[in-house]
Structure 1
Amino acid sequence: MAPPMTLFLLTIIVQLCNGEMAARKFPAMLVFGDSTVDAGNNNYITTLFRGDHPPYGMDFPGKISTGRLSDGKLIPDMLASRLGLKESVPPFLQPNLSDDEILTGVSFASAGSGYDELTSVVSQAIPVSKQPGYLRDHVKRVKNIVGEERASRIVSNALVMVSAGTNDFIFNYYDLPTRRFQFSISQYQDFLLKKLHKLVKELYHLGCRKMVVSGLPPVGCLPIQMTAKSHLLRSCIDTENKDAESYNGKLKNLLPRIQAELQGSKILYADIYSPMIQMMNNPNKYGFEEIRRGCCGSGLLEAGPLCNGLTQVCSNPSKYMFWDSIHPSESTYRFLALNLTLELLPEFS
């Protein structure tokens, strides 16, 4: 009998083959959010929240520090490859993007951003609410390249990803409790969901129709949160995880209502929480040896400017669930991307 890991990999291969039909439906990808999907836009603005230096990108092709806050590729890159679009999704602010790059999609995301504009006051990132403004400029360029009719088809059939929210809770509620003085946790969740609702409607009015909106990860299991509140035991912070579950439940219920408002739209919820909890509970199944600290430095605090060329790095990032104290490793993203490919993309007709 094959060992468990071999069976697991065989299952993945079979599922990937079954998912091939879902991988040819989208002419482009358009990506909005925070560092989980920022391909390097922060390289072109004034902020410390950047991954444009080693050891970031050590597993990216060519070992290039692109601005992605991981050791390698992000989920949009992996999905773009699966869709046959390209091997990576570039940042919109990258100068001199080719017409082909423009037509097949870009990322407007900014590391350190959130739905709450106050989040970007701390990080100096591009708030998620401002990112549709870049989409307007992008659509104009697409129209200039292929004409208005084809541009409309590209945008309406593009796979749109939205991934944000974690920074809002960490920056404004848990670690820097500015919003805690104004809102209960339930009220702050509702406040953010109103912002998200407005964002999705704006994307719709700009022509987007096929959207995937990510929920929160288990925030209390991020290494930096363990360091802040469970430094010795290094156990997940249950209250923060319960808050994430509660927010995700509200988001999952909200999206069908938004879809019903926006004729011709398809808006799906992407569950990030459950697969990450499964990885935490069954690390060996996924090939992980370390799930409580990042690969970069001590793995307890280092991220962004603190994860740099002077910090030590683990010998094999693929054995780590987290790359730094906040961001998943490329290996973790690969499992999440696989889940999205199999569970969500077939839902789009």
Structure 2
Amino acid sequence: MMLVWKCIQNPIVHTVMFTLVFSLATLIILPPSPISASSPSVSALFAFGDSTVDSGMNNDLMPFVRCDHPPYGRDLPEHGPTGRYSNGKIATDFMASNLGLKDLLPAYLDPKLTDYDLLTGVSFASGTCGLDDLTLELSHVYSMGDQLEYFDEAVVRMKISVGEKKGREIVENALFVVSVGANDLMLNVYEFPLTERKTQFTSTDQYSDFLLQRLGSFIQGLYSRGARRFMVAGLPPIGCLPLQRTLSSIINLRPQRLCVTQQNIDCQTYNSKLQALLSSLQTTLPLPSSRLVYFDIYNPIMDMYNNPDKYGFVHIHEGCCGTGMFELGPLCTEFSRTCPDASKYLFWDAVHPTEAAFFVIADYAHKTVLQYLS
């Protein structure tokens, strides 16, 4: 890994190693009937994964994986950074609000978090996290295993607060959102093809199988802890992210910043396999109250990209922060030029959607998926 590090000369690529992510939206891949009206409503929302659903877990980590600085969060109610990788709310905030739980889903490590807040859900997600341990060696953020340990700790706190029986019921009736995987492909396949994964796996397809096996184990780990309702996000169109378009333009020495077709194909292949995995898990985790739903973010984001007028977007090729072509995390700062109206942009920085785009994703989820889970 030191050899790979020393070979990195491009400052843009150097930054990519430590930041990135995304994902979210919705599409049902399973044919379960909606939960009956007599079933309990969603008691809480717990989020796991990467920066798409991170509300501020990274705020005490190294600077290159943090976004708890301006201009991030400028359009939140308090107009300040919280550790969310956007200008305002993210999809899980809107979901929590749509479910009648709370206006903002806090991070578990938020110093202001109370035991009462914990009862209706938190995010354990950590920006730049992945399913692959090698991704964690690059980013040094909270792993999926770390997030499970924090969840165990949270469950103990809840049971102390409301009792064993009530605490167990909160978990069983909660919605578990999992969004992870994009960083693994970006860091270990697209940005740094010299990593050991390129020698271990002969194709991106094989590497995706490796990632999905780990994702399946994580879901089973949550299930063994009492989780019963899952919304699992697929990958976004990685090849159309502003950062990937910029890097492709540099690598291929071309002035046009085009979507990277092969990367998008890889994401579609991964998403198809994820749907098959969830179908398989649904049969092996057969309790009547269990639901595993695929959360499609690929198609909603591509629809916003291909039909921006439909959503009020004017800018889809670059983010609002800086040039919009490569800035994110530590490169998107209070000294960066930012657009006056982020609602006209699909992307806030070179990777992450704006609050307006997250709203579209969450609204689509509310209309199509949540009825099967709440």
- 1:330 and 1:185 map into 2 onto residues whose CA distance is 31
Alignment match, 2:138: 122
The structure 1 segments of at least 4 consecutive aligned residues displaced by more than 3 Å after TM superposition are none
| TM-score, normalised with respect to structure 1 | 0.92
Query: What is the aligned partner in structure 2 of residue 180 from structure 1?
Result: 198
For 1:241, the equivalent position in structure 2 comes to: 264
Is residue 308 of structure 2 the alignment partner of residue 289 of structure 1?
A: no
**Paired residue for 2:233?**
214
- How far has the Cα of 1:260 moved from its partner? 1.2
Q: Which ranges in structure 1 are unaligned for 5 or more consecutive residues?
A: 1-20
Residue 13 of structure 1 corresponds to: none
User: What is the CA-CA distance between 1:96 and the residue it aligns to?
Assistant: 4.3
Partners in 2 of 1:128 and 1:323 — Cα distance?
A: 26
Q: TM-score, normalised by structure 2?
A: 0.86
1:212 alignment partner, SS class: strand
- Counterpart of 2:300 in structure 1 is 275
Confirm or deny that 1:60 pairs with 2:101.
no
Alignment of 1:105 with 2:124, yes or no, is no
Deviations 1:41-73 (A, max 9, x none): 000233521110000001111111000010001
1:306 counterpart = 2:322: no
Q: Is the 8 A contact 2:228 2:291 kept in 1?
A: yes
Matched, 1:257 2:275: no
Shift of 1:130: 2.4
- Percentage of matched positions with identical amino acids: 46
Aligned-partner Cα distance in 1 for 2:243–2:334: 20
How big is the shift at 1:261? 0.9
Counterpart-to-counterpart distance in 1, 2:63 and 2:275: 32
Q: Check whether the contact 2:76–2:88 (CA below 8 A) recurs between aligned residues.
A: yes
Q: How many residues align?
A: 327
Shift in alpha-carbon separation, 1:84–1:219, aligned structure 2, 3 A: same
Contact 1:44 1:94 in 2 (8 A): no
Q: Which residue is equivalent to 1:8?
A: none
Q: CA RMSD in A?
A: 1.2
Q: Residue in 2 aligned with 1:154? A: 170
**Equivalent residue of 1:321, what SS?**
coil
> Which amino acid is the alignment partner of residue 343 of structure 1?
T
Higher relative contact order (CA 8 A, sep 6+): 2
Check conservation: 1:230, 1:237, Cα contact below 8 A.
no
Residue identity opposite 1:316 in structure 2:
D
Matches within 5 A, 1:84-99: 84-99=100-115
